[in-house]
């Protein structure tokens, strides 16, 4: 049996669970963005905040009026539906947008540039295209891109396949094949910032910018550096960085990671807890034929995301191989072995081989431990033990937290201060707990 | 069997077939005469960089030094089934050089049956490998013999001290097809025309150090650890407005052979919509073609991609680096950008002329480039192409007007080239600082973008630009240290309409000595829009 069909079977039970949970009213899509077929985007300047207290001058896009945002709005499109993007330029330099992977983009109202049709300051250019293939894509400035992408003019595009219905989890797939079915989807749009370039732009000294000296010191996911990646979407104190990256799932559920290289460096994106399976690259399923699904999917625990590239990967976590029953279905009579007296039913997605096995060590006394923010006090999912005052506290439902981060460890800092940067946590919540970020 | 192992096995069978084909079809060896020389190359900003390069010695003797030295070196095309012999003459490169082809067997010298790694003793008597192949010292000639060649797209390069020698320019492309019009013996690799796109970089400080004898143990620059490239080349050239498009045919399938001889990763992206079909990496046919708008091209990588020209409209398609090496040193609009021309239909010639009392340069500021006038003042373009021409006045001059091509005024000239036509830029000489716009009683809306323009004498190089809403009683600085003769002003938001506004421009020399200043002749309005 190949890994995907194994996953396919493993995915069936959790899907049922997801349906049950969806019935409880928690079925909102987790990838934030703008939907529709006509988008009115304005390029303008603004500021973002970094967790170390810095405020950085940016150029970004906004959908309609309001502040520019970083990254640009995620465009959530439907396969086959023609799209119009009106780009109005409120920057002092010409700008444009390119949509790599979208065939037959045409532009009206602009003037030609080196790479794309541009809007001069104060003017509007209109791009039209029809997204013919579902998948994950990117768009960004095609005008002096070495400067303008750095300044913030890039975003992600999600093209929903035919048959996708937001309210019907049975239709959730990234591509027109069941190999891309998922229970939850999250965006990982990776970028960097070299604040020197931004300071020069803020002073109006564009002639002084030397992009060959690019030396980033901030690394971001969806426009935020850790720990802001884990704060809510649309929080008031990050008004120009609306998107978080707080992946959550229950054991056994399939998580679709839509990874996008938004900046100009490569990032080795790394998952803890389990490997992931890359099913698509640059908006195309890794299949041997158009109809064969993801039969060329590649397992990885680190995927290098190149600038401008998109990768779709599936991730799930069941506790398999951990060696103890993460649900705490322990044999009440001692011994720690699977025994006749352990009558607990298997949980959805549970690893049979660990059923009823207690954690195989005696936990040290609390006075001998130091605690992380996400420690519940218990090795079991959904149970907690009182911790000393001030310890733990970021894990109210006693889930398991696994770091998802750039494996270029330099990139999990904020201007040389660890931890931060291109880092977030994958939160495996106990079965039945509604997800805040579904 | 695991899925991955199965895939590997699939790869082995065609490989075995290729090897057998090579052995059975050993029709002989193709010979090339390569001459290595020191040379230099001018960058778009005028900087002259010392280089080392190869020339194809056309008369097959190394006494007359015919054939031009190029960077990259000449592309070596080996006919299907043939082996390869390169006669290498190191005319004046001041250290031993050699040739290797990563992905092919190590070459022999044609005398010894075994390839030789060159080793030398260092100052402490330790043996150090210095070359992946036998070396050719300055003034010597040696042969490099490959008795089998695998079909595909490869780099050839110096195998000696490659961190420096490849960087200095000793690299090129070597290609062999499995059969004519079939790169890898597979329907996915059939093509009608091909184009080599060889990426490279230049760190001018390293080149200067090597050429100036300041590179090496105990010298100012001891290694390439501080590698800091400033110029980014495709086929040896950084993009500049004068660069013409590269034809990729008018129909059928085009094979793009992408190679990276630089030390950094590059990511060629084809703009304008179409996806490339990636068919091979490092001379290995992929088991399944991959559709993608961009190709990952790390250092030393080669990749082949098919572009279906029949599916493309005639026109120009930018191929740009998504690693964003798109400047020439700090000057924007350069680097790893080429325009690929899908050409069918009539060609019209756009010609640029210049007149007036001043001087300047006219460049193409849009795809596909091809004009830098300067000296390169005309370009044949697909009829219907719209071109943006930018007038860049020399110090002391001002772009006063455009004529022809439907252009006029002091901004950019946007003209559509339907038939052959001439556009003339008028540059006017200035001997004092003079505000040109706004200079009349015009009404300018708040929050609009307005171009402030001025002329100035040749000594004035940097300008402070100010405005006043009270006829000059008080001034607000818009920008300081501005170069050139114009500034795009984002007109401020105003609470009411101001009717007595002026602009002041103050010119300074490069050494910040005040040259002169001027104020708008007439008051203009900044109009409040309720």
Give the model confidence (pLDDT) of A22-38 as tens digits.
333 333 457 999 999 99
Q: Looking at residue B22, what DSSP letter applies?
A: H
Please indicate whether, in this complex, the C-beta atoms of A103 and B275 are within 8 angstroms of each other: yes
Nearest residue to B134 (alpha-carbon basis) of B106, B156, B154: B106
Q: What is the pLDDT of residue A341?
A: 57
Q: Looking at residue A343, what DSSP letter applies?
A: -
What's the average model confidence in pLDDT over B341-368? 95
Q: Looking at residue B407, what DSSP letter applies?
A: -
> Residue B151 in contact with residue B283, Cβ under 8 Å?
yes
Contacts of A157 in chain B (CB under 8 A): none
pLDDT confidence of B7, banded at 50, 70, 90? very low
Residues comprising chain A, all counted: 438
Q: What is the pLDDT of residue A331?
A: 61
Residues B523, B443: Cα–Cα separation, whole Å: 10
> Residue B84 in contact with residue B30, Cβ under 8 Å?
yes
pLDDT confidence of B20, banded at 50, 70, 90? very low
Residues B56, B34: Cα–Cα separation, whole Å: 5
Residues A298, A295: Cα–Cα separation, whole Å: 9
What's the average model confidence in pLDDT over B235-254? 96
pLDDT confidence of A14, banded at 50, 70, 90? very low
Q: Which helix (H) or strand (E) holds B6?
A: helix B3-24
Q: Which helix (H) or strand (E) holds B319?
A: strand B315-321
Each residue of A71-99: b (16+ CB within 10 Å) or e? Answer: bbbbbbbbbeeebebbbbbbbbbbbbbbb
Interface test with B, best of A42, A89, A97, A100 (most B CBs within 10 A): A100
Inter-chain Cβ pairs, chain A and chain B, closer than 8 A: 134
Please indicate whether, in this complex, the C-beta atoms of A308 and B294 are within 8 angstroms of each other: yes
Residues comprising chain B, all counted: 530
Cβ within 8 Å of residue A433, ≥6 positions away: A250, A382, A397, A399
Pairing of β B268-270 and β B315-321:
antiparallel
Q: What is the pLDDT of residue A27?
A: 39
Q: Tokens 């604040």 sit at which residue?
A: A195
Q: Which helix (H) or strand (E) holds B315?
A: strand B315-321
Contacts of A308 in chain B (CB under 8 A): 267, 269, 294, 322
For residue A400, pLDDT beyond 90: yes
pLDDT confidence of A339, banded at 50, 70, 90? very low
Q: What is the pLDDT of residue B8?
A: 39
Please indicate whether, in this complex, the C-beta atoms of A145 and B3 are within 8 angstroms of each other: no
Residues B94, B37: Cα–Cα separation, whole Å: 9
Please, which residues bridge with residue A44 across strands? Answer: A60
For residue A355, pLDDT beyond 90: no
CA distance A214 to chain B (A): 10
CB proximity B483 to A under 8 Å: yes
Radius of gyration of chain B (CA): 29
- For A409, list phi and psi in degrees, rounded to 5: -60, -25
Max intra-chain CA distance, chain B? 91
pLDDT confidence of A1, banded at 50, 70, 90? very low
Nearest residue to B165 (alpha-carbon basis) of B142, B131, B199: B131
Q: What is the pLDDT of residue A313?
A: 98
Q: DSSP string spanning A380-417?
A: STT------TTS--S-TT--EEEEEEESSGGGSSBTTB
pLDDT digits (tens, 9 = 90+) for B160-210: 999 999 999 999 999 999 999 999 999 999 999 999 999 999 999 999 999
Q: What is the pLDDT of residue B123?
A: 86
Please indicate whether, in this complex, the C-beta atoms of B366 and A111 are within 8 angstroms of each other: yes
Q: What count of Cα atoms within 13 Å lies in the side-chain half-sphere of residue A62?
A: 19
The C-alpha angle B91, B92, B94, rounded to 5 degrees, equals 135
Of B412, B448, B483, which is closest to A122 when you measure between CB atoms? B448
Q: What is the pLDDT of residue A410?
A: 97
Q: What is the pLDDT of residue A30?
A: 79
Of B229, B322, B479, which is closest to A308 when you measure between CB atoms? B322
Q: What is the pLDDT of residue B30?
A: 96
What's the average model confidence in pLDDT over B35-40? 97
pLDDT digits (tens, 9 = 90+) for A229-253: 999 999 999 999 999 999 999 999 9
Identify how many contiguous H helices and E strands chain B contains and give both numbers: 3, 39
CB proximity B271 to A under 8 Å: yes
Pairing of β B413-417 and β B385-393:
antiparallel
Instruction: Show the tokens assigned to A11.
Output: 């995915």
What's the average model confidence in pLDDT over A329-348? 63
- For B442, list phi and psi in degrees, rounded to 5: -80, 160
What CA–CA distances, in Å, run from B298 to A173, B162, B398, B497? Answer: 32, 16, 45, 57
Interface test with B, best of A102, A113, A115 (most B CBs within 10 A): A115
For residue A259, pLDDT beyond 50: yes
CB proximity A288 to B under 8 Å: yes
Residues B320, B326: Cα–Cα separation, whole Å: 8
CA nearest to A122 within chain B: B449
Q: What is the pLDDT of residue B16?
A: 43
Residues B118, B129: Cα–Cα separation, whole Å: 6
Of A103, A144, A282, which is closest to B273 when you measure between CB atoms? A103
Instruction: Show the tokens assigned to A232.
Output: 């809510």
Q: What is the pLDDT of residue B27?
A: 65
Q: What is the pLDDT of residue B492?
A: 96
Nearest residue to A312 (alpha-carbon basis) of A254, A272, A266: A254
What CA–CA distances, in Å, run from A59 to A198, A220, B326, B460? Answer: 9, 16, 19, 32
ipTM for the predicted complex: 0.92
Nearest residue to A29 (alpha-carbon basis) of A166, A180, A161: A166
Nearest residue to B180 (alpha-carbon basis) of B193, B195, B163, B199: B193
Q: What is the pLDDT of residue B9?
A: 39
For residue A145, pLDDT beyond 70: yes
For residue B1, pLDDT beyond 70: no
Please indicate whether, in this complex, the C-beta atoms of A145 and B269 are within 8 angstroms of each other: no
Q: What is the pLDDT of residue A29?
A: 58
Instruction: Show the tokens assigned to A392.
Output: 């733990």
Instruction: Show the tokens assigned to B21.
Output: 């084909």
Contacts of B264 in chain A (CB under 8 A): none
pLDDT digits (tens, 9 = 90+) for B105-135: 999 999 999 999 888 888 899 998 889 999 9
For residue A347, pLDDT beyond 90: no
> Residue B18 in contact with residue B26, Cβ under 8 Å?
no
For residue A5, pLDDT beyond 50: no
Residues A257, A111: Cα–Cα separation, whole Å: 37
pLDDT confidence of A256, banded at 50, 70, 90? very high
Residues A317, A326: Cα–Cα separation, whole Å: 11
For residue A130, pLDDT beyond 80: yes
Residues B351, B460: Cα–Cα separation, whole Å: 31
Share above pLDDT 70 across residues of chain B, in percent, rounded to a whole number: 95
What's the average model confidence in pLDDT over B241-252? 95
Instruction: Show the tokens assigned to B365.
Output: 């500021």
Q: What is the pLDDT of residue A332?
A: 57
For residue B24, pLDDT beyond 50: no
Strand locations in B102-149 (E): 118-121, 127-131, 141-146
Please indicate whether, in this complex, the C-beta atoms of A112 and B387 are within 8 angstroms of each other: yes
For residue A10, pLDDT beyond 50: no
Of A98, A266, A282, which is closest to B265 when you measure between CB atoms? A266
Average pLDDT, chain B: 93
What CA–CA distances, in Å, run from A138 to A62, A71, A83, B203? Answer: 16, 11, 15, 31
């Amino acid at each position: 049996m190949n890994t995907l069909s194994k996953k396919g079977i493993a995915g069936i039970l959790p899907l049922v669970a997801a349906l049950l949970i969806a019935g409880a009213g928690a079925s909102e899509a987790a990838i934030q963005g703008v939907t529709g077929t006509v988008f009115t985007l304005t390029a303008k300047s603004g500021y973002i905040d970094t967790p170390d207290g810095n405020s950085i001058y940016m150029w970004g896009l906004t959908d309609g009026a309001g502040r520019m945002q970083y990254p640009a709005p995620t465009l959530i499109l439907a396969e086959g539906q023609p799209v119009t993007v009106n780009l109005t330029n409120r920057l002092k330099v010409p700008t444009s947008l390119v949509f790599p992977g979208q065939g037959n983009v045409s532009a009206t109202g602009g003037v030609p540039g080196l790479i794309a049709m541009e809007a001069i300051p104060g003017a509007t250019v209109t791009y039209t295209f029809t997204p013919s293939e579902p998948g994950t894509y990117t768009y960004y400035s095609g005008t002096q891109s070495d400067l303008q992408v750095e300044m913030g003019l890039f975003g992600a595009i999600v093209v929903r396949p035919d048959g996708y219905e937001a309210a019907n989890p049975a239709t959730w797939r990234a591509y027109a094949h069941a190999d891309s079915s998922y229970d939850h989807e999250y965006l990982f749009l990776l970028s960097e910032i070299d604040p020197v370039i931004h300071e020069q732009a803020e002073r109006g000294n564009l002639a002084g910018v030397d992009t060959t000296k690019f030396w980033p010191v901030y690394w971001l996911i969806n426009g935020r550096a850790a720990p802001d990646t884990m704060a809510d979407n649309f929080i008031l104190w990050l008004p120009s960085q609306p998107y978080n990256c707080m992946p959550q799932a229950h054991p056994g559920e399939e998580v679709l990671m839509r990874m996008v290289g938004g900046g100009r460096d490569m990032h080795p994106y790394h998952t803890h807890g389990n490997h992931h399976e890359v099913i698509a690259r640059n908006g195309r399923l890794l299949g041997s034929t158009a109809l064969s699904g993801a039969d060329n999917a590649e397992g990885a625990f680190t995927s290098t995301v190149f600038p401008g590239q998109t990768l779709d990967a599936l991730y799930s976590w069941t506790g398999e191989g951990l060696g103890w029953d993460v649900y705490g279905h322990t044999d009440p009579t001692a011994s720690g072995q699977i025994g006749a007296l352990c009558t607990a039913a298997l949980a959805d997605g549970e690893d049979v081989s660990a059923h009823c096995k207690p954690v195989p060590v005696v936990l040290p006394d609390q006075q001998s431990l130091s605690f992380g923010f996400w420690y519940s006090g218990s090795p079991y999912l959904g149970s907690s033990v009182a911790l000393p005052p001030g310890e733990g506290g970021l894990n109210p439902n006693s889930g398991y937290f696994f770091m998802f981060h750039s494996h270029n460890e330099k990139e999990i800092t904020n201007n040389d201060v660890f931890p931060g940067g291109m880092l977030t946590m994958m939160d495996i919540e106990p079965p039945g707990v509604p997800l805040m970020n579904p | 069997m695991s899925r991955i192992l199965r895939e590997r096995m699939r790869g082995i069978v065609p490989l075995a077939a290729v090897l057998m084909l090579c052995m059975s079809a050993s029709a002989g060896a193709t010979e090339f005469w390569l001459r290595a020389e020191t040379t230099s190359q001018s960058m778009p900003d005028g900087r002259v960089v010392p280089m080392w390069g190869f020339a194809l010695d056309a008369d097959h003797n190394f006494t007359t030094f015919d054939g031009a030295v190029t960077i990259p070196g000449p592309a070596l095309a080996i006919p299907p089934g043939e082996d390869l012999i390169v006669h290498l003459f190191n005319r004046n490169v001041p250290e031993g050089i050699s040739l290797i082809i990563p992905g092919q067997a190590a070459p022999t010298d044609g005398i010894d049956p075994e390839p030789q790694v060159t080793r030398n003793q260092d100052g402490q008597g330790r043996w150090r490998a210095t070359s992946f192949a036998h070396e050719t010292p300055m003034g010597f000639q040696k042969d490099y013999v490959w008795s089998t060649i695998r079909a595909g797209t490869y780099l050839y390069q110096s195998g000696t001290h490659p961190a420096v020698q490849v960087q200095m320019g000793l690299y090129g492309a070597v290609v062999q097809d499995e059969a004519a019009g079939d790169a890898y013996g597979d329907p996915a690799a059939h093509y009608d025309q091909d184009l080599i796109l060889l990426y490279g970089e230049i760190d001018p400080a390293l080149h200067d150090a090597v050429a100036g004898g300041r590179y090496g143990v105990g010298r100012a620059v001891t290694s390439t650890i501080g590698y800091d490239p400033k110029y980014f080349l495709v086929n040896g050239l950084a993009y500049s407005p004068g660069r013409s498009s590269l034809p990729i045919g008018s129909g059928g399938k085009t094979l793009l052979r992408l190679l990276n001889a630089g030390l950094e990763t590059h990511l060629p992206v084809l703009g304008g919509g179409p996806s490339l079909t990636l068919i091979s990496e490092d001379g290995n046919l992929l088991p399944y073609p991959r559709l993608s708008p961009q190709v990952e091209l790390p250092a030393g990588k080669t990749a082949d991609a098919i572009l279906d020209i029949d599916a493309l409209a005639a026109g120009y398609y930018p191929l740009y680096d998504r690693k964003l090496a798109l400047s020439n040193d700090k000057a924007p609009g350069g680097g790893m950008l080429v325009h690929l021309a899908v050409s069918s239909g009539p060609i019209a010639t756009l010609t640029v002329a210049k007149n007036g009392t001043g001087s300047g340069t006219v460049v193409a500021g849009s795809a596909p480039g091809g004009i830098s006038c300067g000296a390169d003042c005309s370009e044949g373009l697909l009829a219907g192409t719209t071109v943006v021409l930018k007038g860049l006045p020399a110090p002391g001059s001002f772009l006063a007007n455009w004529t022809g091509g439907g252009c006029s005024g002091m901004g950019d000239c946007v003209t559509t080239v339907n038939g052959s036509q001439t556009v003339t830029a008028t540059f006017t000489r200035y001997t004092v600082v003079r505000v040109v716009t706004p200079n009349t009683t015009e009404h300018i809306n708040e929050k609009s973008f307005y171009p402030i323009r001025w002329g100035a004498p040749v000594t004035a190089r940097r300008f402070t630009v100010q405005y006043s809403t009270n006829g000059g009683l008080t001034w607000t600085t818009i920008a300081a240290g501005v170069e050139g003769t114009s500034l795009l002003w984002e007109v401020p938001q105003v609470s009411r309409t101001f009717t007595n506004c002026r602009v002041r421009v103050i010119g300074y020399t490069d050494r910040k000595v005040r040259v002169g200043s001027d104020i708008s002749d007439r008051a203009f309005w900044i109009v409040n829009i309720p």
